[in-house]
Amino acid sequence: MSVINQMLRDLDRRGASTGDGVYHAKDTGGKRLMIIAFIVFLAAAVFTVAAVIYAVRKHRTEPAPDALKTEQVQKAESAVAAKDNEESPDVTAAEREAVVNAEPAPLRKPNQPSAGAEGKGNSAAASESAVSAERKRREELADVLAGPDQELLRDIREREAQGGAKSDITGAGRGAGAADAPEKPRGTLSIEVEKLPAGKKAELSAKSGDRKVITGELDGAEEDFLDALEAKPRDSAVRMKLASLYFGRGDLGAADDLLSKGIALDSSDWRLRGMLAKVRSAGGNRSGALTALTGFSPEAAKETLPYYELESELADEAGDCDSAAAAYRKLWKIAPQESRYGAGLAIAYDRCSQKQAAINTYRKVLKDRKLDPNVRDFAERRLRVLGGKK
């Protein structure tokens, strides 16, 4: 106010010095009003700023009611509610630890009583009551969450009562509780070996043997083929592969024995018979080779052509005209366009002194215009000798 009065006095002196008091007095009066208005506006602005600062400080020091609960305590309360409703049968150790170790929520300052304590008088008594209620609530929650760890809970309460210190759940307290807890039964691991069916085992062993033959592991291939035959003795394909390994290393006796056992299991297996005849023929046992072939006559088909060719050859060598004639009849039936098989049959009849059968067969052979000249010449000569007049 002293500053305002000084400004007003300065305006009065200026008006007196002009000698025109009336006119200048009106002028200074307007300026006074402007100054007073400016000062009032300035005071209002200062008051507004002070009010805002006060409100901000009050908001920071006095948290909202929901802030009185820490996040961990709120989670614990939710767990208690869930247990009361039987929605969550178990409470984790982490939640129990959250309740025990949770920091007390910030309370109002002693000089700022809550709404419920305004009518009770002393603000300090209200603050103490709030702290006691908070601690009681935490203890009730801890009782619910503690479960079987009652000894650990009593230890926590004793520590809080003595010095308000937190209890280290992962330290000695937890160790003591864990020592008393019964040991959980350990799981057992059982391994059951599934026995493969014989057919599957034979298939896997045979494939393994084939791979080893390709890579040159002949000893390993032999073991695999033996395993396959043990699981499936009638597998002639595997038996022939194993016999080939024996034949390749010169063990003709082992090959003969292996093939003979296969024929004993299935006497109609002409493939085993054909291979046995080749093994015996390679060993010089031509009669034995012929015996292997003559024991069975497979159906005349293209795939059996090599079988009968070998039989006819061995029979010719052995002088067994009957076996030779039987083999050539099969061959000519399989391939009637092959006159050489007909010529072989005529010769077999000729050797067996079957004159008319020989004459008839020579005549049929000579009808082939594509007949080999040497065979034709031989057939014509034999026909004249036999009285066929060709």
The pTM is what?
0.49
| pLDDT (tens digit per residue) in 160-198 | 666 554 444 334 444 444 445 555 556 666 666 567 787
CATH 3.40.50.300 assigned to 297-390? no
244 Cβ partners below 8 Å, 6+ apart? 255
pLDDT band of residue 312 (cuts 50, 70, 90) is: very high
Residues 293-310 have pLDDT tens digits of 988 889 989 999 999 999
- Give the whole-number percent of the chain exceeding pLDDT 90: 44
pLDDT in tens, 335-357: 999 999 999 999 999 999 999 99
Residue 49 scores a pLDDT above 50: yes
Give burial (CB, 10 Å; 0-12/13-18/19+) of 214: exposed
Is CATH 1.25.40.10 the right assignment for the domain spanning 199-284?
Answer: yes
Q: What residue type is 14 in one-letter code?
A: R
Q: For residue 389, what pLDDT is reported? A: 67
Kindly report the number of other CB atoms within 10 A of residue 320's CB atom.
Answer: 21
Confidence of residue 228 (pLDDT cuts 50, 70, 90): very high
Q: Is 96 within 8 Å of 102 (Cβ atoms)? A: no
Question: What is the percent of the chain where pLDDT is above 70?
Answer: 57
Q: Residue 142, CB half-sphere, CA atoms under 13 Å: how many?
A: 22
Token pair for 338: 């092959």
Radius of gyration over alpha carbons of the chain, in Å?
Answer: 60
What mean pLDDT do residues 233-247 have?
Answer: 95
CA atoms lying within 13 Å on the CB side of residue 209: 24
